[in-house]
Amino acid sequence: MQLFRFIINFLKRYGHYFNYPESITIPGFIYIDQRYRLGSGKGKEIDIFASAGRDFWIAESKWQKDPVDEKVVLNLISQKALVKEKMGKNLRNITLWLFASSGVTENAKKLLEDHTILWSTKAELNALLDESGLRKLPEID
């Protein structure tokens, strides 16, 4: 949770760590939850769900040896649709972010770009942490 709060403060200046060509405007979050459930069933648990009034962020974290494939991205996109349905008129914007420790496949990258989804690898996040004078992510196999 603290790592997520730290990251959102730096997104304003460091869009390139999130494979995004521009600076990113971050709302002032009033609610951040981990393992948020949109309902019962597969694919309905959000790793990090954050709200700033009518602006929402959905973040998915994948710590695995192989690059993330398009199935993970498609699930993130479907979670966005579920949040839209659930929030209705209370929704203004949803930002999606994928942390993929070992990167993404080419097909996944195309989907991320087509849907303007922020994404980071472990190396990119470590570079941001290092630049900020903070401890890098742990080595997890």
75, part of any domain: yes
Tell me the CATH number at 111. 3.40.1350.10
Instruction: Name the residue range of residue 75's domain.
Output: 2-131
Phi, psi of 48 (to 5 degrees): -135, 130
Does residue 92 surpass a pLDDT of 60? yes
Q: Please give the pLDDT value at position 1.
A: 57
Q: CA 121 to CA 125: how far, in whole Å?
A: 6
Q: At 120, which amino acid appears?
A: S
141, part of any domain: no
Quick: pLDDT tens for 68-78.
Answer: 999 999 999 99
Structurally, how many domains does the chain consist of? 1
30, part of any domain: yes
Q: CA 26 to CA 123: how far, in whole Å?
A: 22
pTM for this entry: 0.81
Quick: pLDDT tens for 35-80.
Answer: 888 777 787 788 889 999 899 999 999 989 999 999 999 999 999 9
Q: What is the mean pLDDT of the chain?
A: 84
136, part of any domain: no
137, part of any domain: no
Contact yes or no for 25/34 (Cβ under 8 A): no
140, part of any domain: no
Q: At 100, which amino acid appears?
A: A
